[in-house]
Amino acid sequence: MSLATVVVGLVQLALVVVGGPLLLGLMRRVRSRLEGRDGPAIAQPWRDIAKLAHKQRTRPTESSWIFAAAPLVLVATAATVAALGPLISLTPPLAASTDFIAVIFVLLVGSVALALAALDTGTAFGGMGASRALTIGALVEPALLVAVLALSLPLHSTNLVAIVADGLRHASVLVGPSHLLALASFIVVILAESGRLPVDNPSTHLELTMIYEALILEYSGPDLALVTLGESMRLAIWLGLFVNLVAPAGIAANATAAGLVLGVVAVTLKVAVVGVVVAFFEVTTAKLRLFRLPELLAGGFILALLGVVTGAVMR
Amino acid sequence: MNGETRDLGPGGLLEAASALLQSGYRLALVAGLDDERGLRVNYSFLAPGRDPVELRVTLDQQTRRGVSLAALSFPASRFERELFDLYGIDPVGHPQRRPLVRHAHWPEAYHPMAKGAGPAPTLHPDDGGYPFIAVEGPGVYEIPVGPVHAGLIEPGHFRFSVVGETILKMKARLWFTHKGIERLVEGKSVEEVARVAERISGDSAVAHGLAFTRAVEDALRITLAPDVEARRAVALELERLYNHVSDLGALANDVGFGLAQAKALTLRERLLRLNERVSGRRLLRGVITVGGARLLDAPTGTELDEIEARVAELTAMTLAQSIVVDRFTGTGVLSLEAVRELGVVGLVARASGLDLDARRDHPIEGVTVAPVVVATSGDVLARYQVRRDEVAASLAALRGAVAGVSTFHLAGSSGSGAGLGVVEGWRGPVVHRVELLDGRVTRLKVVDPSFLNWPALAVALADTIVPDFPLVNKSFNLSYAGNDL
């Protein structure tokens, strides 16, 4: 691990930490505007995090260390992927071992930690949220793994950095049906994993309808600040990986200063664009009935599977 | 009082009530009264197109043993539980004598509406917990919700027994906002009580205000000029409009379709500003006065056109969204049979196919009757569509409205008597029964449609999944304040 790759990792981490809440703020702002409201400032999630960090922390009396550790696990796993994933450069630390499946599983460790913490509270809402979140998780994962398989077929490698680099070298890969189908599946997975519409309504106050929000109902103060930060980082990471798989243009091929600056600008712009598109989509859709979600996620799985099949046939 | 009053013994009550219920009357209100002249219970029955009938029973003030009509009518069984909590009248033969109004922090023997009950006693901590019948079986768990909720909602506690995501049973505990309104108004002048009546349920200021003044006018045998009644009807329809439009947006919002909610909220604001111009008050308080109506201005045709177009756009946009329609259809079905058995009224009853509307069934001279909107499927979609179509009907009824201010001077303060007032508010029929002595209110009994409709919510939830509860609840949109009194 050279110094240059460490610098890349640190820059990526800083970008995701700072940019995650801003991405959330941007999406809320766009949504407000589309609905004819002025909406809060883009920096509002940061203000909320700063406010929460100074507030008193309360924890359920029955909860154990799991509840206390989950926000840290969430942020730590997100930070790991933020530093190691190909976001601004093709030379992140440990590039040779940035396995796509490992990346996904590290992120899932964060999801599972939150679900366990919700169960740990012993409240009905925590259990309900955990049950719903893990049900969706179980449906999301097959689609995700098959999508990874489709993306890794051309290279015979699940190395995420290599897949992105291949896209950068051979533009033809990017428009191949296998690649496109896998990415279509990937976006369904991202919407489900990050609790966006039509899977979950992140802005509801109705406790009984919540999926991911129900998991974190018992968190307060600095714990809630960490959870908010961690979830926005995850959203930024998912979208960052997605845009680099769709259109890797602008990502730095090496760790020169100019390349990194360009990489930061490129990934920020691309993620912002996708964030705005997701916000547009959210305004025009509604939340699916809970029992319809398997149909949506099965659709995602089928898309990924088709991606694998076409990839195999066309070789 | 308009209509017939019969004094009966406890034996005759059952027979008379049974005959009335079978001939198409419904039990609209039961009022207890405990004073120097004895302990009485008044049963008010209503039927479309017919005069109200009142049955009156005098009970022994010492033993306080009453008669139960629970076998004849479900609403009667709840009125009787209320009478037991407030007056200590024991409904002999009642199958479920659980407390209804009384929470565990009231001393058990304290019946606040009984004669000589005195001021409120020291309340104990509510250490009774919430005893609910536990549903048992493999995988069954309970979800307690409320009384404090995440949004700006009135307090109510809901206990769900759930297996997986399917609701097996839901019990609601209300009366967290019991304020003792019926005791509060005793001995006050009708003008003072009219102000209280407007504040019973904030979203039904006109309906409650009008039901009270009609009851007073019934008691004092005051007949108003048709144009005064027409002006009151304008206020009533304006109240229906802003509430229905709010619900059209809120229902969409509860399935995550925020765009419709944003549009509905701006439209609601437009309507509240119209209210302010027309009445001086955004929520229409002060329009209804005893014997009068105070309408400063009338909505213009252009305004009504604009609102009609915007409502049409809002509802078309909402129902064009297939996910929304999917969420609404077949959710929270309330059958017509259940509506009849539970004595459900108002908008909810009409969405299940019961053709009942006090505006048509108890017409007032000078008020044009809007067509009654009925749907049949009894699901959330039906309740959405009834609201949509009632908005259109209200807008049509508002055309040609004429402003004007008229006040009425009660002839002296010597008026006495009993009267009944019925008004079809936006939720359903609001009924007030008043007794006056020398121009002062000696007894007021209020029945908000929410009191009759709350039990139906639990029935509509059978086979519904937990995440659909808020949607079903919103489609009923019952009042806590109007129920708890």
- The three-state (H, E, C) secondary structure of A106-135, written as one string: HHHHHHHHHHHHHHHCCCHHHHHHHHHHHH
- Taking the C-alpha atoms of residue A38 and residue B155, their distance in angstroms, rounded to an integer, is 31
Q: Token pair for residue A282?
A: 């959210």
pLDDT in tens, A78-102: 999 999 999 999 888 888 888 999 9
List phi, psi (to 5°) of B44: -100, 125
How confident is the model at residue B97, as a pLDDT? Answer: 85
Is residue A45 reached through a cis peptide bond, with omega within 30 degrees of 0 on the bond before it? no
How many Cβ atoms are within 10 Å of B389's Cβ, its own excluded?
A: 18
Q: Are strands B417-424 and B404-406 parallel, antiparallel or unpaired?
A: unpaired
Q: If you average pLDDT over residues A49-65, what whole number do you get?
A: 92
Does A125 sit within 8 Å of B143, measured CB to CB?
yes
Name the H helices within A194-285: 212-215, 221-246, 257-283
Residues forming beta bridges with residue B295, ordered by sequence position: B404
| pLDDT score of B410 | 66
For residues B270 and B264, give the distance between their C-alpha atoms in angstroms, rounded to a whole number. 10
Which tokens belong to B443? 């007894």
d(CA B241, CA B392): 9
Q: Which of A34, A124, A286 sits opposite B142 (nearest CB)?
A: A124
- Using a CB–CB cutoff of 8 Å, tell me whether B163 touches chain A: no
pLDDT over 80 at A315, yes or no = no
**What is the secondary structure of B345-395 as a DSSP string?**
-HHHHHHTT----HHHHS--TT-PPPPPP--SS-SHHHHHHHHHHHHHHHH
Distance in angstroms (rounded) separating the CA atoms of residues A100 and A242: 12
Categorise residue B438: left if φ over 0, alpha if ψ from -120 to 50, beta otherwise. left
Backbone angles phi, psi at B40, to 5 degrees: -120, 155
Q: In B, which residues are within 8 Å of A128 by CB distance?
A: 143, 466
Minimal Cα–Cα distance from B469 to chain A, Å?
7
Residues in chain B: 485
Q: What angle in degrees, to the nearest 10, is found between the helix axes of A257-283 and A3-34? A: 30
pLDDT digit of tens for each residue in chain B (485 aa)?
A: 777 888 888 788 888 999 999 999 999 999 999 888 888 999 999 999 899 999 999 888 888 888 888 889 999 999 999 999 899 898 888 888 888 888 888 888 888 888 888 888 888 887 766 677 788 888 888 888 878 887 778 899 998 888 888 888 888 888 988 888 998 999 898 888 999 999 999 899 999 999 999 999 998 888 888 888 888 999 999 999 999 999 999 999 999 898 999 999 999 999 999 999 999 999 999 899 888 888 888 898 999 999 999 999 999 999 999 999 999 999 999 999 999 999 999 999 999 999 999 988 888 887 888 889 999 999 999 999 999 999 999 999 888 777 777 777 665 556 788 999 999 999 999 999 999 888 889 999 999 999 999 999 999 998 888 889 999 999 999 999 999 88
Distance CA B121, CA B107 (A): 8
pLDDT of residue B413: 54
B114 phi/psi in degrees, rounded to 5: -75, 155
Please give the radius of gyration of chain B, using alpha carbons only, rounded to the nearest integer: 22
Contact B327 A286 (CB under 8 A): yes
Q: How far is A206 from chain B (nearest CA, A)?
A: 7
Q: Which of residues 251-270 of B touch A (CB under 8 A)?
A: 252, 254-259, 261-263, 266
| d(C-alpha B154, C-alpha A2), whole Å | 61
CB distance A208–B465 less than 8 Å?
no
B275-313 as b/e, with b when 16 or more CB fall inside 10 Å?
Answer: beebbebebbbbbbbbbbbbbeebbeeebbeebbebbee
Chain A residues contacting B via beta carbons under 8 Å: 31, 34-37, 124-125, 127-128, 132, 197-198, 201, 203-209, 283-292
Average pLDDT over residues A191-208: 84
What pLDDT digit, counting tens, does each position of A117-171 carry?
Answer: 999 998 888 888 999 999 998 899 889 999 998 988 888 889 999 999 988 888 8
CA-based radius of gyration for chain A: 19
* B465 → closest Cβ in A37, A203, A291: A291
Cα(B123)–Cα(B104) distance, integer angstroms: 9
Task: List CB contacts (< 8 A) between B150 and chain A.
Answer: 205-207
How far A286 CA sits from the closest chain B CA (Å)? 5
A182 neighbors A100 (Cβ within 8 angstroms): no
Tell me what pLDDT residue A252 has. 87
| Helices and strands in chain A, H and E counts | 12, 0
C-alpha A167, offset from chain centre: 21
Cα–Cα dist B325/B330, whole Å: 10
Q: Does B324 touch chain A (CB under 8 A)?
A: yes
**Type of residue at B129:** G
- The Cα B467–Cα A52 span in angstroms is 28
pTM for the whole structure: 0.90
The count of residues in chain A is: 315
Helix, strand, coil shares, percent, chain B, to 5: 40, 20, 40
Task: Return the domain boundaries, chain A.
Answer: 3-314
**pLDDT bucket at A243, cuts 50 / 70 / 90:** very high
B258–A287 C-beta distance less than 8 A? no
